[in-house]
Amino acid sequence: MPISPDAFFLDRSPERGAGLPLQVQLRRQIIAAVTAGRFRAGEKLPSTRALADHLGVARVTVAQAFAELVSTDYLTSRDRSGHFISDRIERRIEAGDSPPATGRFDWDRQLEHRYSRAQRSDRTRDWQRYGYPFIYGQADPALVDHAAWRDCAMRVLGRREFAAVTSDLYDADDAELVDHIARQILPRRGISAGPDEILLTMGAQNALWLVTQLLLRPGASCAIEDPSYPGQREILSASGARVLPVPVDPQGLPPEAVPPGIAAVFTTASHQCPTNSTMPLARRKALLARAQAQGFAVVEDDYEFEMSFAGAPSPALKAIDRAGAVIYVGSFSKSVFPGLRLGYLVADPRFIAEARALRGMMLRHPPGHMQRTLAHFLSLGHYDAQANRMRRAFAQRRRIMLEAIAAEGMELASPGTTGGSSFWLATPPGIDAKVLTEVLKTRDVLIEPGAAFFSDPAQGRGFYRLAYSSIPAERIPEGIARIARTIRDLRP
């Protein structure tokens, strides 16, 4: 890419006293840009005339600056072609001349580091390079209907809908998408909601953040499942609220164990994260009765309800919520793809109004293009087709995985679950799941160790999650075999 004259500025102010000569400034700008990698070897600089015109200096000033840099190997000059960044710049950069990397402003004093400290540390960013990624939460390109998505995206970018896609919606949502969610998705969870009870969010992550900001003011406390979703705990950790973990059992969260005096309880009733238990109807009612009696809100994270293999999914907590105490969090990350960043909140209109005001201040609204494309994806039946395809593929992977796990004698910590896209396993005594994870990485296998899911990480040593959302069916047996082999290798 040729370097534009726009990339150059000169400071002419007399106040600088012994101000740097313009030629020196120009040389230093080029050196700084080369050092920072903004100008790259072989790139063509503007002609001396063009640059002189842009800067309002004499052409000879530019020519002299260029000549000096040619003699010091920053630039090369090619007869009539002009000047180029030299191929030998690496040597020059090592020789010095680089400006200090950070300024002198005391950012450490200014920043609390509250968020970086609370940040979860359990993610593997380069998950894609593993041959056997038993990792949760990423898209599987083989299952996403990218042609249908592209078709929907294109429809939305015609002139007719372009205004809707490009406008600043302020704090509003795309009415078409809200309508589809209300009429096509929510009824499947037994939920009846109007537009004033629905708010679109940038994924469930954003929804959980909004809920936390609004419900958990300083000094408030909340209850969470234990083990639970690390993303939720990360948000709560940064909030400063008191977090009271409630151990789950094979039926999920026990309502009678939810402590009093809390502002809210966070639950994953459909598929407990990470154990995948489904909360039975009796418990759901007991939890809601307790919430109404004691005045705490129930935050229901209904991620991946579509992945139910034993018949239709059970109705959501929100569906039987007569008192209006439930805040329902939905997401398209699993059923469409996570890079979409679209989810939604369904709750009492008073809560939604406040959440809308907050979301508006934080980011206005999710991009119109993504909202409207998703609306088409829903209305044209692609969402249903994709959910069905994923369900079939996951059911097959689940079967294969269960067989392999049984054949290898590995231990399911949560047997009998009927949904989700992962298994929760226990290591044999004496084997730390973190150590298992690290050794498996050297064998091209990626698993998720249990520590990140527990309030007390030490409790997670003996657990790990194996998701099948991103690993092709044919690779599962070998992946499981490697895990079993490694477990044997690690026996004390």
- Give, as ranges, the residues between 350 and 389 that touch a second copy (CB under 8 A): 350-351, 353-354, 357-358, 360-370
**Residue 85 binding a second copy, by CB under 8 A:** no
**Distances from the Cα of 396 to the Cαs of 108, 199, 384, 409, 420, in angstroms?**
52, 35, 18, 20, 13
CB closer to a second copy, 242 vs 482: 242
- Residue whose C-alpha is closest to residue 198's, from 222, 180, 212: 180
**Residue 192 binding a second copy, by CB under 8 A:** yes
What is the pattern of x (binds a second copy, CB under 8 A) and - over residues 413-452? Answer: ----------------------------------------
**Residue 188 binding a second copy, by CB under 8 A:** yes
CB closer to a second copy, 353 vs 426: 353
**Distances from the Cα of 146 to the Cαs of 165, 299, 374, in angstroms?**
20, 32, 13
- Residue whose C-alpha is closest to residue 455's, from 244, 148, 272, 165: 244
Alpha helices in 171-227 (DSSP H): 175-180, 203-215
What is the pattern of x (binds a second copy, CB under 8 A) and - over residues 151-170? Answer: --xx--xxx--xxxxxxxxx
Q: Which of 81, 128, 251, 396 binds a second copy (CB under 8 A)?
A: 128
Q: Which of 82, 240, 245, 338 binds a second copy (CB under 8 A)?
A: 338
- Region of residue 222 (left: phi > 0; alpha: psi -120 to 50; beta: else): beta
State how far the Cα of 29 lies from the Cα of 108, in Å rounded to an integer.
29
Q: Which of 19, 38, 58, 407 binds a second copy (CB under 8 A)?
A: 38
The one segment of 266-274, 315-323, 385-393, 440-448 that binds a second copy by CB under 8 A: 315-323
State how far the Cα of 124 lies from the Cα of 448, in Å rounded to an integer.
9
Q: Which of 94, 108, 126, 474 binds a second copy (CB under 8 A)?
A: 108
Q: Token digits for 146?
A: 């990218």
Contact 373, 149 (CB under 8 A): yes
Smallest gap from residue 268 Cβ to a second copy (A): 18
DSSP β-bridge partners for residue 419: 308
Torsion of CA 212, 214, 215, 216, to 10 degrees: 60
Contact 145, 388 (CB under 8 A): no
| Strand (E) or helix (H) holding 346 | strand 343-346
State how far the Cα of 386 lies from the Cα of 393, in Å rounded to an integer.
10
Q: Which of 20, 58, 60, 281 binds a second copy (CB under 8 A)?
A: 281
CB closer to a second copy, 74 vs 462: 74
Q: Which of 79, 94, 106, 474 binds a second copy (CB under 8 A)?
A: 106
The one segment of 18-26, 81-89, 285-293, 480-488 that binds a second copy by CB under 8 A: 285-293
CB closer to a second copy, 58 vs 293: 293
Smallest gap from residue 490 Cβ to a second copy (A): 29
The one segment of 107-115, 246-254, 268-276, 431-439 that binds a second copy by CB under 8 A: 107-115
The one segment of 10-18, 429-437, 460-468, 478-486 that binds a second copy by CB under 8 A: 10-18
Chain-centroid distance of CA 91 in Å reads 40
The one segment of 182-190, 386-394, 419-427, 442-450 that binds a second copy by CB under 8 A: 182-190
Phi (first) and psi of residue 395, to 5 degrees: -60, -40
Q: How many CB atoms lie within 10 A of CB 456?
A: 10
Alpha helices in 171-327 (DSSP H): 175-180, 203-215, 230-239, 281-294
**Residue 182 binding a second copy, by CB under 8 A:** yes
Chain-centroid distance of CA 146 in Å reads 20
CB closer to a second copy, 76 vs 294: 294
**Residue 406 binding a second copy, by CB under 8 A:** no
| Residues numbered 234-253 forming contacts with a second copy, rule: CB under 8 A | 234-235, 238
What is the pattern of x (binds a second copy, CB under 8 A) and - over residues 196-235? Answer: ------xx-xx--x----xx-x----------------xx
Q: Which of 97, 176, 348, 478 binds a second copy (CB under 8 A)?
A: 348
The one segment of 32-40, 390-398, 423-431, 454-462 that binds a second copy by CB under 8 A: 32-40
